[in-house]
Amino acid sequence: MHIPDGYLSPSTCAVMYAGAGAGWYASLRKVRHALNGRLIPLISVFAAFCFIVMMFNLPLPGGTTSHAVGVSIASIVLGPAGAILATSIALTIQALFFGDGGITTLGANCFNIAIVGSLVSYGVYRLIAAKAPLSSRRRVLASAVAGYIAINVAALFTAVEFGLQPIFFHDAQGVPLYAPYSLRVAVPAMRIAHLFVAGLAEAAITAGMVAFLQHADPALLSATLGAANGMAAERVKPKTLRRLWITVAVLMFLTPLGILAAGKAWGEWSLSGGPQSAAQTAVAGGRQVTPSALSGAVRRLATVWTAPMPDYAPPFVKSAAFGYLLSAMFGVGLTGAGFLLLQKLWRRRPAPGSMR
């Protein structure tokens, strides 16, 4: 679901940035009263968790892959506002440093995955788990269903954005200027990948984390009892936070397993990656446009940003597995460092009503 640069028109990117910006603004307003010494580390660990989860590629027929995103468990614990911020930060780090998703399309990726995913998973979970005790098995089932539905709805939004491009943006001969995937191509491709693979992975991850938290620290699940966003963070046990970071660390060292499945997720072929990526795009688009024409049409957008470690492969590392692990460590470290800085800055801010 990470849309690369060049696949969406500038006007589409602007609209999606506006939608994402509204979500970011509302989320910050919602949780600003709870941005304290406890909530910031909790958002940090879930941002790192989402980052790592998206590095585990799952094989699909045809040489493509898919992956879970981790947004659902973030939404259940942090509430939708906190999950939107955590997942958006993970997506931003992926785009800036690893070229996983574009810079021009970052607004669309955050809107689809972070905002739509968070709101849908939170709503479905609350609907199914309504009034159930925190230790109830119904909450585990509710979390699995929420994760499954959320990632599929997010994928549908992505597919529709792809499918609208050739309808509204093409040249006089009808050649698509941006993504060449029609709705008839994009929707089934995205739906199959997420209905049968990524959706099941997201459901399993979410249910497993909820079951773990029911035993480790049930208070973290109280955000879905109607409590204000971030209030559960006031009661988070330091031991639980350590366990969550240990979970992230274990997954981080397992990330080389994520490249055992060859190929990229459907529609994530960056045109700046060379002729092979352009050819994959043309084939997936039903050969509506030749690779050379497609590359020329979106060249400027596709090369607007060059990530320093594209595809999680640092150029100074020869081993693909070790490079992937280093990328995971860098991403997690950057997430943690960024939130530590935010925490320090927030603690230094003037108190409301102070004369400073």
Asked whether residue 1 is assigned to any structural domain, the reply reads: no
In a domain, 14, yes or no: yes
Q: Total domain count for the chain?
A: 1
Q: How many residues does the chain have?
A: 356
Does residue 355 sit within a domain? no
In a domain, 5, yes or no: no
Predicted pLDDT at 271: 64
Give 213-217's long-range contacts (Cβ < 8 A, gap of 24+): 213/77, 213/240, 214/134, 214/135, 214/139, 214/140, 216/240, 216/243
pLDDT of residue 229: 42
Q: Tell me the per-residue pLDDT of 171-208, one tens digit each, with 9 for 90 and over.
A: 888 888 898 899 999 999 999 999 999 999 999 999 99
58 backbone dihedrals φ, ψ, rounded to 5°: -115, 135
What CATH code is carried by the domain that includes residue 24? 1.10.1760.20
Q: Which 3 state secondary structure label does DSSP give 58?
A: strand
User: What is the domain range of residue 324?
Assistant: 10-348
Please tell me the distance from the alpha carbon of residue 211 to that of residue 205, in angstroms, as a whole number.
10
Q: What tokens does 306 get? A: 């060059």
pLDDT tens digit string along 81-93?
A: 999 999 999 999 9
The whole-angstrom separation of Cα 184 and Cα 160 is 10
Characterize 210-222 residue by residue with b for buried, 16 or more Cβ atoms within 10 angstroms of its Cβ, and e for exposed: bbebbeebbbbbe
